[in-house]
Structure formats: structure tokens, C-alpha cells
Amino acid sequence: MTSTQAQHPAAETPLAHVVFIAASAAMGGFLFGYDSAVINGAVTGIKSHFAVSDATTAATVAAALLGSAAGAAGAGWLADRFGRIRIMQLAAVLFAISGVGSMFPPGIGVLATWRVVGGIAIGIASVIAPAYIAEVAPPAYRGRLGSFQQLAIVLGIAVSQLANYAINQAAGGVSTGKLGGIEAWRWMLGVETVPALVYGMMSLAIPESPRYLIASGREARARAVLAEVEGPEADLDARIAEIRAVMATEQRARMRDLTGGRGGLLPIVWVGIGASVFQQFVGINVIFYYSSLLWQSVGIKESSSLLISLSTSVINIVGTVIAMTLVDRIGRKPLALAGSAGMAVALAVASWAFSYRTGTGTSAHLPGAQGTVALVAAHFFVLCFAFSWGVVVWVLLGEMFPNRIRALALGVAASAQWLANWAITVSFPSLADWNLSATYAIYACFALLSIPFVALCIRETRGRTLESMG
């Protein structure tokens, strides 16, 4: 009996066991979401404490995304060399260190450095979790289990917003207020250490990927893991033979293995990059990184803006649950197309509402009717993103690439996603100061352009084995 079997009795169904495994791996997604969004509540306090400009604040917020791009780019190589589980544990350590360091930075530059460290962990988690879940999950459940990554991300976002709001209220309704002698924004950043430790412990309770085990010459252990996740009726000899047959035709992936098509890269790699870029260029992370500043910029108080941020996180969770119930029933492409259309409409309406903004800074104001429309449009936008691109892109990235290049190609696509995220994040404050309405019109255009991209470039992967992704 393996250690994993000892922890999960034989009476437990394989599906329940694989759900536990996927949920444990997706804890990286929880930290991904928490670390990404926690800055939303702290950004006002950071700007005030260090007395920095909007541009410096934006650069500090976006610094994590450069780390994320680096972490995502290297995660595939590290996972192939050292295994999925060890790299999860590395991410957990980096998350914990970043949380402690970000809580007590002596200057804005040091805070940015710790943000980069946390970003590296985010990038690693963004690659490892979907790849690992796709490799462990039975094909019939892979879409729903793969969507655990996005569910964990949105839960992490929601918990960070809830924690931010609770800390803000306990400190007197402002992020520069003190709680136990320490400013509220510092607590917001430091609390991340707790889920980081939980993630590290959960990674000790799940098995290594069977594909990595076979590649490492540990076929007996791979057989045991396949039996655990696919059940006693699975034809283990056939499954191992299938994996081996694919592996026999491949070598350890190198960057040159991704090249050869038009534009230098294989077409499937460009599709992955395109999906990643579109996911970010609709401006979704403006809502999660800057929503407190966004709503303050149209006349809403700081404590109320944090409450609105929490409500959008709840909508995000609802949309993700909808996607989880549909992604294996109706497929990836229909969800993505529906979400693109909904996002385009919501962003266009928000652009119209924001065109009525008057004043700047603390004197900014949005008329009552337009303010209500903007809030509804923002929530509808988050819902449309959550039930479509939020889940579908991570599911696709975990399964769309051929086996021989999966981890490396996923890393490249995720790295592109983080660079796109960085571009949106670092540009938003300046664009919003220039013209908030036009900024949202640009995001609406990208949502509209994503429709022909999905229709023409995305191949449906529902119900297919990973080995068939040739």
C-alpha cells in the first residue's frame, strides 16, 4: 500500500480521490488569486505611506507580473527536471517569503522586489497546477477538474478582498490605520503567509504525475497512481503503453521544439499565446487590482469601494461554478464565444457610463443613473469572464498542446499571459487619467476581436485524451 493510499481508504471512490488531488494542486491557484488581488486593498495605503506618484504605484503593483512571466517561463523546464510536486513546494516557499517581506518593506523599491518574488511563485503555480491536473485527471472529468484552477483563483481573490475589507474596518476604515500597532495595508500583504503554508503541506499529500514518473523510470509508482485516479476497472497496461508510445517518439522538450511554423513558432503555440493575451487584454485584472481606486475615481469612498470589490469577487465565484458545470457538457468553444459576446456588451456599456465622469481625484463624481449602470456592467462583465475565458483558457492550456511539448508550451503561453497582464496593469492608471471611458472602449474592442479568434483558431478538446493531442 502506498502512502497516498494509506491516507485515502480503499472505500473512497477514485473520483473523490482525484478531486482531492486536483483541489490540493489548485491551492497554488488560490495563492495565485490571493497574491494577485490582495494589492487592491493595500494600494491606497502604499501610495500614501511612501508618498509616491500614480506611475510609481502602478509600477510597484505590476512588478509582480514581471516575476510571474519569469516564473511561468521557467516552470515547465523545472517541472520536467524535478517533478511537479517539488516545484509546487518551491512555489509555496516563495509565496510565504514574499508575504513576510512585503509586510515590512523599508522602501517602495524593496516592496517591489518582494512583489517580484511573489510573482515568480504565481507564475510557477499558473503553469504547474493546470499541467499536473490535466496529467492526473481521467479524460471524462478533466475539464471540470481542470477548472479547479480557476475556481481556486477566484476563491483566492474573494478571500483576499474579504480579508482586506475586514482588516480595513478593524483599522478604522482606512488602509493607513493601525491594527496592533501595524498599518492595515501591511497586514493585508502579510496574511498571505498562512495559505502559503497550507499549500506546502497539501502538496505533501498528493502523488507525483504518472507521466513524470514514467519519464523518470518509476513505472511501478506510475501504475499505482493510475490505479488510484482511474479506478480498479482501468486497463493499466493499456494506459501505460499509451503513455510510453507517445513518450517513445519524443525527447525532453527544448525551446527549439516549439519552433517551425510561420512567425517562428508552431501554430498551436501561437494559439495558446493568443488565448492568453486575449484573456488579459479585455481588462479583467483592472477590476481585481485597481477596483478600489477605480470606484474611488468616480466618487465612492474607500471602505465602500472595498465592499464593491468583494461583491465582484462573489460574482466571479458564481460564474466559475457555472463554467465548471458546463465545460465538459457543452465544450470549451461555446463557453468562450458566449463569454466574449457578453464581455463586449458589458465593457461597451461601462465605457458609456464612465463618459459621464466629472472632476478628478477626491472631487470625481458619476451621476446616479450612470453610476448604477457602471456597477451593473462591471458585475456582468466579471460574470461573463468567469463562466468563459476565466476557466476555458486554463483548461485549454492544460490540454491543447501535444504531450512532448506540453509543459514547455504551457509555460510560454502563461508567460505571455503575464506579460499581457503587466501591460494592462502598468498602463491603466495613466489611461484612466487620460480618458476612463476610452480605456474601457479599448477593452471592449479586444473582447469583440476574441470572437473570430475563438471561432477560427481554437480546436475543441472536450473528451479527448492528452495522448491524442497530436
pTM of the model: 0.71
Question: Is residue 426 predicted with pLDDT exceeding 80?
Answer: yes
Residue of 40, 146, 123, 76 lying closest to 417 (CA atoms) = 123
In the structure, what pLDDT confidence band is assigned to residue 465 with cuts at 50, 70 and 90?
Answer: low
Cα(first)–Cα(last) distance of the chain, in Å?
A: 35
Question: Is residue 240 predicted with pLDDT exceeding 50?
Answer: yes
Residue of 392, 400, 466, 409 lying closest to 150 (CA atoms) = 392
Q: Which residue has the cell 523510470?
A: 217
Strand partners, 183: 178
Cα separation, 166 vs 467, in Å, equals 47
φ, ψ of residue 110 to 5 degrees: the values are -65, -40
Question: Is residue 27 predicted with pLDDT exceeding 80?
Answer: yes
Would you state the pLDDT for residue 2? 42
Would you state the pLDDT for residue 410? 80
Strand partners, 179: 182
Would you state the pLDDT for residue 98? 93
* E strand or H helix at 461: none
pLDDT tens across 188-239, in order?
A: 999 989 999 999 999 998 999 888 898 888 888 988 888 888 777 777 888 8
CB 347 within 8 A of CB 381: yes
pLDDT tens across 266-289, in order?
A: 888 899 999 999 999 999 888 776
Would you state the pLDDT for residue 447? 96
Residues in the chain: 470
Strand partners, 265: 259
Grid cell for residue 2: 502506498
CB 447 within 8 A of CB 340: yes
Cα separation, 56 vs 115, in Å, equals 14
Question: Is residue 5 predicted with pLDDT exceeding 60?
Answer: no
Burial 93-116 (b: 16+ CB within 10 A, else e): ebbbbbbebbbebeebeebbbbbb
CB 398 within 8 A of CB 141: no
Cα separation, 50 vs 342, in Å, equals 40
Average pLDDT estimate for 255-269: 75
Q: Classify residue 42 by its DSSP letter.
A: H
Integer Rg of the chain from CA: 22
In the structure, what pLDDT confidence band is assigned to residue 3 with cuts at 50, 70 and 90?
Answer: very low
Would you state the pLDDT for residue 241? 84
| Whole-Å CA distances, 394 to 74, 102, 187, 384 | 18, 28, 30, 16
Grid cell for residue 370: 450612470
Question: Is residue 6 predicted with pLDDT exceeding 50?
Answer: no
CB 297 within 8 A of CB 429: no
Cα separation, 284 vs 298, in Å, equals 19
Between strands 178-179 and 182-183, the pairing is antiparallel
